[in-house]
A = this chain, B = another copy of it.
């Protein structure tokens, strides 16, 4: 090789020896300064820093990684969607990773991707990472145990059971069932006899957890479990579900597995003449940015993405840096039910065939209930 074309492309990028020469010290000393190692006199440190500055020196990370066996980077596997939940989690993870001094490498898995999570993890391993975060994976057939032997770095799985065994596997972001419970109980507390569920695609663990939470809550309260409708997270699928649900007069309350579907659902119900929340109550999940501003303002469950990312990463980094130590314990994230206007008490018992309108509750809900942008969240459970 012709000396040059360093990692920043410019041939002849300064190396630590250059800095050393200019500062009149040994190369090792430069290394010491840049690693904040002790035993460097302030004077020497100053000279080195100055020389480095003058030369525009940057440490070569590849060399560092090669020599030390650590890349100081963490890889994250995400679904390739701009869906609010996954995107928020990713942003949360990035922030924390950077704060911990690691670099972030990202690989997406697309739904239907043949290689899937397994492939993504492999690609991260190829790139070289010290730890891996798998964010809200979806279920895959086969390939479960494939990676078990090879994944030699700690893995943090957010929002799902570990899809395989690795040297160290941590899980985080549990408690989706508890959040679902809060939503369902809110509806039950309002007086609804039972609650329907508009589920997410069941290949997603996140969707499964919410469904389980709904089911368990209904069972705990001795209520009938109506048939589940499965959507695909999109408002369009919520809309389709709404058309079905609107035809069934028994439906007075629906818990949707995310806000997008809830919004599509509400629209379909409204178009079908079933007013929300007077006739049918709806609770969503996520608290997307517009949730407070749609009509009616959406009661929903807010997910603590930042907390989850922070807690999970803390444990992952701990596992990376203390390979022998016991894993730090996970804690359940808080449940945050945001009460707005889309869920209200059910209408009085129907008088069978002909429907009748109450006259009392006639106030225009959009005028009376202004949105609760932030404050109006009552922490439940």
Contacts and interface: CB of A to CB of B under 8 A. Distances in A.
Interface of A: 1, 4-10, 13, 56, 58-71, 73, 80-84, 87-88, 90-91, 94-95, 98, 103-108, 110, 123, 125-128, 130, 149-154, 167, 234-236, 238-239, 259-260, 263-264, 266-267, 270-271, 273, 288-290, 292-295, 323, 366-367, 370-371, 373
A73 B59 CA distance: 17
Number of copies: 2
Interface centre among A125, A260, A271 (most CB of B within 10 A): A271
Contacts of A58: 125-126, 150
Contacts of A110: 95
| Nearest 6 interchain pairs by C-beta | A10-B152, A62-B65, A9-B152, A7-B128, A87-B87, A8-B152
Contact of A292 (B62, B236, B259, B271): B236
B294 A267 contact: yes
A251 to B, nearest CB: 19
Nearest to A108: B94
A62 B59 contact: no
B235 A61 contact: no
A8 B103 contact: no
Contact of A295 (B63, B235, B295): B295
Contacts of A91: 80-82, 87, 108
Nearest to A5: B69
21 contacts: A1-B69, A8-B150, A9-B130, A9-B153, A9-B167, A10-B167, A13-B152, A59-B126, A62-B64, A62-B65, A62-B128, A63-B66, A66-B66, A82-B90, A95-B108, A98-B107, A239-B293, A239-B373, A264-B293, A270-B295, A290-B290
A287 to B, nearest CB: 12
Interface centre among A60, A81, A82, A150 (most CB of B within 10 A): A82
A87 B289 CA distance: 14
Nearest to A12: B152
A163 B57 CA distance: 22
A15 to B, nearest CB: 12
A95 B120 CA distance: 12
A73 B260 contact: no
Contacts of A266: 293
A126 B8 CA distance: 9
A371 B263 CA distance: 12
Contacts of A263: 290, 293-294
Given A235-B290, A238-B293, A292-B236, A106 B108 contact: no
Contact of A106 (B104, B123, B130): B104
Nearest to A4: B69
Nearest to A237: B373
A113 to B, nearest CB: 10
Contact of A61 (B127, B264, B270, B293): B127
A125 to B, nearest CB: 6
B366 A270 contact: yes
